[in-house]
Each structure stands twice: as C-alpha cells, then as structure tokens.
Amino acid sequence: MTLLIKICGLSTPESIDTAIEAGADLIAFNFHPRSPRYVELDRAAALAAHARGRVETVALVVNAGDDALSAIRSAVEPDSWQFHGQETPERVRDVRAVWGLPVMKAIGVSGPADLAALASFAPVADRLLLDAKPPKDAAYPGGHGQPFDWRVLSALPPHRPFMLSGGLTPENVGEAIRLVRGFGVNLLGVDVSSGVESAPGIKDPDRIRAFVAAAREAEGAR
C-alpha cells in the first residue's frame, strides 16, 4: 500500500496547491481556536471548495460538541474528521454513526504505556494517528515540533495500522519511516504541520515539497 502523506494546518489556497502538486494525499484544516493554524468556518469552507475533488480533506477538532461538528459538516463538507482531544472511544463511535464520516483519532505518545489506548480506539476509529504528547503547559494539542522516541513503536502488533506524527520534518521523516518500518509494524502514513512552516501557522512551499519528496524516497527504499 502506498504511504499516505498528510499536510496539516493549511490556511491558504497557495499552500493547498503546493501540497497537492507535491503529491500529498490528505490535507487538514484546524478548527481549534488556540492553535496558530486555526481557520474560521467561512475561510475553511472556501479552502475546502478550492481543494474538493483533488485531495482528501480533513477537519481537525479538539473536544468539539455536536453543534460545532454540525456547523463544520454543513459549511466545509470535509471527507473525514480528525479528533485531537480527549475524545473517548464511545464519542468516536457515535460521531461516525451520526455524521457518516470516517474518523481519525490522534493518540499522544511519550512512552510505551501510551500505546495501550490503541486497543480501545482501533475498533471504532478508521485511522489512528500517533502524535507526540504536548508540553504540560501547552495551549493546544500536538507535538509542538518535538518527536517522541519512535523506538517505542517496536512494541506495536504488526496487524494494527497507524499514521505517525509529532515533530516530523523534511530532514527527519525519511529516518522515521525507515526506522519504524524496520520494526515490522504497519505504518500507514505520516503527518506534518509545524515541520513545514517558516513561522507558526505559515506554511513554507519549499519545505512542503521537500517533506513529500523525502517521504516518498524513504518509501521507495524498502
């Protein structure tokens, strides 16, 4: 299976075009107000329309209520959700049933014990995203540019697919892919946000292209 590449936190038509032309498979719009990548609903709707039919669009939310999800679903029409908060397996199950869209669930990882959560989410989430845990005083979830120790992933069962996030960059994504796949686990894809930025929330076209190229090169080296 071809490695999936996801570029998260896009906020301009130009960055969308760059990601698509570079060969990304998924792009995400961030609806968490505290994030520097936050996009308001009207803007996200226009961006999603610009991308529609060319790439899979993902709506990233953090502990969003039904009203917020309904508004996003109606205005943006994303292809899937990304839950990046403290959502429970029951919440993931219910959202899939009500809105009929696939759900990607992000799970923060700092050590082997954090991998236990995968067993609860695997039956209800369409994709699992393993991300670095944020600093304790962080205003929003995610790796904040710092990777976790990828060696903990060697404990994963080979039948459980997952995507990798947290501190990935054009400089280290190839190393991450080669190392993790060397464990014999099922790496479905990679995800990046701050690692392709020139400043918080500002995507760098050259870094987007370099990230996708490095990931594809590592994928082909198997």
Cα–chain center distance at 198: 19
Q: What pLDDT, on a 0 to 100 scale, did the predictor assign at position 214?
A: 98
pLDDT (tens digit per residue) in 118-149: 999 999 999 999 999 876 665 555 555 689 99
The kind and range of the H/E element at 197 are strand 197-199
pLDDT (tens digit per residue) in 188-214: 999 999 999 999 999 999 999 999 999
- List, as own/partner pairs, every contact residues 62-70 make where C-beta atoms lie below 8 angstroms and the sequence separation is at least 24, other chains included: 62/31, 62/32, 62/140, 62/141, 63/87, 64/31, 66/98, 68/31, 69/95, 69/99, 70/99
From 88-102, 130-144, 147-161, the region with the lowest mean pLDDT: 130-144
pLDDT (tens digit per residue) in 31-59: 999 999 999 999 999 999 999 999 999 99
Catalytic residue positions, numbered: 8, 131
CATH for 4-220 (2.40.30.10, 3.20.20.70, 3.40.190.10, 3.90.226.10): 3.20.20.70
Taking residues 93-109, what's their average pLDDT?
96
pTM (two decimals):
0.94
**Domain ranges (residues) in the chain:** 4-220
